[in-house]
Amino acid sequence: MRPLRASDLAILTAVCFVPVMLCCREHRQTLRVEVPHHYSGPVEVTCQSYGSDLQTATVDANGHAVAHACTREAVDVMVVRDGKIVDVGDSLVWAKAGDGIPVSLSFSVR
């Protein structure tokens, strides 16, 4: 058996550690926001409390919703109307407190 070369060691390291790195990468959470049937217009979602268990925020007929659990970082947002994902384009904006923690988000639904 021949001794290991540097290139062999690099390949062995990649084979061992790349799967671990892929499995352990950060998974970004998604906040689901459901808007009423045929709703269009501005939406504002207020964060009521903070935690790691995101729940669905349901928008009322006036365009307001309360997210009962927000994370301390801005997360991905999925807007759903009539069971279908709605593209809100670039209108989604997170409002943050002075320490950078999100307190609400707003967007427009067309």
In this structure, is residue 34 part of a structural domain? yes
In this structure, is residue 65 part of a structural domain? yes
- The answer to whether the predicted template modeling score (pTM) of the entire model surpasses 0.75 is no
Number of domains in the chain: 1
Kindly report, residue by residue over 6-21, the tens digit of the pLDDT: 665 556 555 555 554 4
Kindly report, residue by residue over 74-92, the tens digit of the pLDDT: 789 999 999 999 999 999 9
In this structure, is residue 86 part of a structural domain? yes
User: In terms of Cα–Cα distance, which of 95, 110, 108, 98 is closest to 46?
Assistant: 95
pLDDT band at 54 (very low <50, low <70, confident <90, very high): confident
Cα Rg for the chain, rounded, in angstroms? 21
The mean pLDDT value for 23-36 works out to: 77
Share of the chain above pLDDT 70, in %: 75
In this structure, is residue 15 part of a structural domain? no
In this structure, is residue 101 part of a structural domain? yes
In this structure, is residue 91 part of a structural domain? yes
Q: By residue range, what is the domain housing residue 51?
A: 28-109
